[in-house]
């Protein structure tokens, strides 16, 4: 299921990648390519290159690469279908879907989004202008929320009425209920879900409204907050309040701050920390973490980590390993929350985040600070409590580092604590040396590949730029690097078409490193295949070399490799003279390459010899 392939192909051709990327990155033309600062990592010198003809981009700093759809997916954090739909809307294209039910489902979701958006506007106007919203405006002012913040975050007021929203919107019953805006009463009438509450609209990562959080006025309702019910659009275990505002700053800082309340997010932004998001009435979940990891590698918890309790530790350590994530905890002053602290002591709030401790470090520090260290009994009890916390961590190295901290603070022998730890973890620790995974990564980080020889890379750049002129002069024997040879061969199969070559290199459905679990996920943004990766690189690089010079350098380098191989063979042969004739010819032709008169003939002779030998050994 998905979008019709022809529509995707048409969109790729119609969408100008330079114009699309130019909305996010300042590009300047350099030869046949466009360059700018990479939007996916911090840099001072441009390493981000765009090939307009083939519709590709590549960053030589961080390795980000892809086409116009990939760029929108990555920059907007959308699924494949969402990115295609966004580009199609900009291009004025009407998309066709491969499944009628799917097409209808997306139209249905669009109606629900429109309904929630109308509700956002209704509540917002009511807060700004409604006479009945006066107490709500006064309350927000008392909490330090400004008029500009009310407008930025589209805050609203739900009147103390059973059906004010229903009467204003006049939606069909099914849309009203499915959008989470209310229910049908016993008489079949529409009843609003929110009444007499300050409304915080909740948006998805793409900025579409999906639900609400409603705060009761002080003393009005024991349920301080209620949220939209889970449904087609809103899933509290997945959505993060404020993400669509914060995602740019989160990516730039490579860090997300997670707090508990909507006003906490607003408070963080007020002190210049625009990378805060909030869970919507639920604990942090794996879906939340997975979402955040697509934006940043570090998460700072800006709420009482002990409130999560010991039972949360194992999940957090598992997330750190599974998502290659660092989780830290901001040490907020006792009894304060970020929203209030942002107004009363903004510097203390900034300091709490900037000095955040690793999750385990925070918990150990809390135990040590709460313990009595002035008596032997107190030190022993504190050490035991700290070791309980430390023993939960899966890494033996990390455990031992914190064990040394506990030993120092409690003035106890580290070996005694190690013995205690081994007894507690009977059967040994779960930690160990970093393992190499099936894809050649150590500790989750892929090993760097050796660089492609300069002449071979230059030849590939020219091949992409002018395939018809260069292809007849090349042969696989001229490429010593397997990736470079594979790029040359796949371009040969497709007459120089970069797009067709990349399609050829793409894995079959379900065979990629990260196959989509559903239509919403879409196909992978780009499988980390070394051949496809090299092709994307050379397709976005500029070359100022001359074709004849590059071919000569390739042939000369290949001839030298052949000479070295023959010499090695002769040195280990019973009859070295077997290699003599070939060595004489290769040396002579190599020397004649530099002769203006004999160079062309020498080049042809070398190429014929090298190609023949390559075919013999292939």
Q: What is the pLDDT of residues 56-87, one digit of tens each?
A: 999 888 888 899 999 988 887 777 888 888 88
3-state helix, strand, coil in the chain (%, to 5): 50, 10, 35
d(CA 428, CA 93): 60
Among 305-309, 504-508, 568-572, the least confident range:
305-309
- Orientation angle between helical segments 68-76 and 80-91, nearest 10 degrees: 110
Q: How confident is the model at residue 519 (pLDDT cuts 50, 70, 90)?
A: very low
Closest CA to 420 of 393, 385, 450, 395: 385
Q: Which domains does the chain have, with CATH numbers?
A: 5-91 (3.90.580.10), 100-234 (3.90.980.10), 359-424 (1.20.50), 454-617 (no CATH)
User: Regarding predicted confidence, which is higher, 516 or 490?
Assistant: 490
Q: How confident is the model at residue 513 (pLDDT cuts 50, 70, 90)?
A: very low
Among 58-67, 137-146, 195-204, 344-353, the least confident range:
58-67
User: Average of pLDDT values for 236-256?
Assistant: 88
Q: How confident is the model at residue 211 (pLDDT cuts 50, 70, 90)?
A: very high
Q: Structure pTM? A: 0.60
pLDDT score of 105? 67
> Across-strand partners of 190?
184
- Assess whether pLDDT exceeds 80 at residue 434: no
Closest CA to 443 of 321, 569, 271, 351: 321
> Across-strand partners of 94?
none
Handedness of CA 418, 396, 315, 306 (dihedral sign): positive
Q: How confident is the model at residue 516 (pLDDT cuts 50, 70, 90)?
A: very low
pLDDT score of 102? 54
d(CA 158, CA 193): 9
d(CA 132, CA 21): 46
Residues 20-45 pLDDT 10s: 888 778 888 888 889 988 888 777 78
pLDDT score of 423? 66
User: Regarding predicted confidence, which is higher, 516 or 398?
Assistant: 398
Return the SS3 of 401.
helix
Residues 167-193 pLDDT 10s: 999 999 999 999 999 999 988 899 999
DSSP labels, 360-371: HHHHHHHHHHHS
pLDDT score of 517? 35
User: Average of pLDDT values for 524-537?
Assistant: 71
How confident is the prediction for the chain on average, in pLDDT? 83
Residues 301-318 pLDDT 10s: 997 555 544 446 778 888
- Orientation angle between helical segments 547-571 and 454-465, nearest 10 degrees: 140
Q: How confident is the model at residue 406 (pLDDT cuts 50, 70, 90)?
A: very high
Q: In this prediction, what percent of the chain has a pLDDT beyond 90?
A: 32
């Amino acid at each position: 299921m998905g979008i019709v392939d022809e529509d995707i192909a048409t969109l790729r051709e119609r969408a100008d990648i330079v114009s699309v990327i130019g909305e996010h990155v300042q590009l300047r033309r350099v030869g046949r390519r466009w360059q700018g600062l990479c939007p996916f990592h911090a840099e001072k010198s441009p390493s981000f290159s765009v090939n307009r003809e083939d519709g590709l981009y590549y960053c030589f700093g961080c390795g980000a690469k892809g086409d116009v759809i990939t760029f929108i997916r990555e920059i907007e954090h959308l699924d494949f279908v969402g990115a295609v739909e966004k580009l199609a809307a900009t291009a004025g294209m009407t998309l066709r879907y491969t499944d009628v039910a799917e097409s209808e489902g997306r139209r249905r979701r669009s109606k629900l989004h429109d309904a929630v958006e109308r509700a956002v506007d209704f509540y917002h106007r009511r807060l700004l202008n409604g006479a009945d919203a006066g107490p709500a405006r006064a309350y927000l002012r008392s909490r330090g929320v400004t008029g500009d913040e009310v407008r930025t975050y589209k805050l609203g007021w739900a009147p103390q009425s059973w059906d004010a929203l229903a009467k204003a919107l006049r939606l069909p019953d099914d849309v009203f209920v499915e959008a989470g805006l209310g229910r049908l009463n016993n008489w079949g009438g529409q009843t609003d879900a929110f009444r007499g509450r300050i409304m915080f609209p909740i948006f998805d990562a793409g900025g579409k409204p999906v639900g609400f959080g409603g705060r009761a006025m002080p003393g009005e309702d024991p349920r301080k907050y209620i949220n939209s019910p889970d449904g087609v659009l809103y899933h509290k275990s997945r959505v993060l309040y404020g993400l669509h505002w914060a995602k740019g700053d989160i990516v730039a800082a490579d860090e997300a701050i997670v707090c508990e309340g909507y006003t906490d997010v607003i408070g963080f932004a007020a002190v210049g920390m625009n990378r805060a998001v909030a869970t919507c009435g639920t604990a942090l979940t794996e879906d939340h973490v997975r979402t955040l990891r697509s934006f940043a590698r570090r998460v700072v918890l800006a709420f009482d980590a002990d409130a999560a309790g010991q039972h949360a530790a194992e999940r957090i350590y598992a997330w750190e390993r599974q998502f290659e994530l660092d989780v830290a905890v901001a040490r907020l002053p006792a009894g304060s929350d970020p929203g209030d602290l942002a107004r009363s002591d903004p510097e203390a709030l900034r300091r709490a985040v900037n000095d955040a401790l690793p999750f385990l470090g925070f918990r150990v520090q809390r135990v040590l600070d709460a313990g009595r260290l002035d008596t032997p009994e107190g030190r022993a009890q504190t050490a035991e409590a700290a070791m309980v916390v430390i023993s939960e961590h899966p890494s033996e190295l990390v455990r031992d580092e914190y064990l040394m901290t506990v030993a120092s603070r409690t003035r106890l022998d580290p070996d005694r604590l190690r013995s205690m730890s081994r007894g507690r973890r009977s059967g040994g620790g779960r930690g160990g040396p970093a393992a190499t995974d099936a894809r050649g990564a150590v500790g989750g980080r892929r090993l760097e590949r050796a660089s492609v020889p300069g002449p071979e890379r230059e030849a590939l750049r020219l091949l992409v730029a002018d395939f018809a002129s260069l292809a007849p002069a090349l042969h696989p024997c001229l490429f010593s690097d397997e990736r470079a040879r594979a790029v040359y061969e796949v371009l040969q199969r497709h007459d120089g078409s970069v797009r067709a070559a990349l399609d050829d290199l793409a894995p079959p459905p379900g065979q990629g490193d990260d196959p989509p679990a559903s239509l919403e996920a879409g196909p992978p943004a780009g499988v980390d295949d070394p051949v496809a990766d090299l092709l994307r690189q050379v397709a976005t690089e500029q070359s100022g070399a001359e074709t004849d010079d590059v071919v000569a350098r390739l042939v000369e380098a290949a001839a030298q490799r052949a000479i070295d191989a023959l010499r090695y063979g002769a040195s280990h042969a019973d009859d070295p003279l077997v290699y003599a004739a070939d060595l004489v010819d290769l040396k002579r032709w190599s020397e004649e390459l530099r002769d203006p008169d004999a160079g062309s003939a020498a080049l042809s002779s070398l190429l014929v010899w090298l190609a023949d030998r390559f075919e013999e050994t292939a």
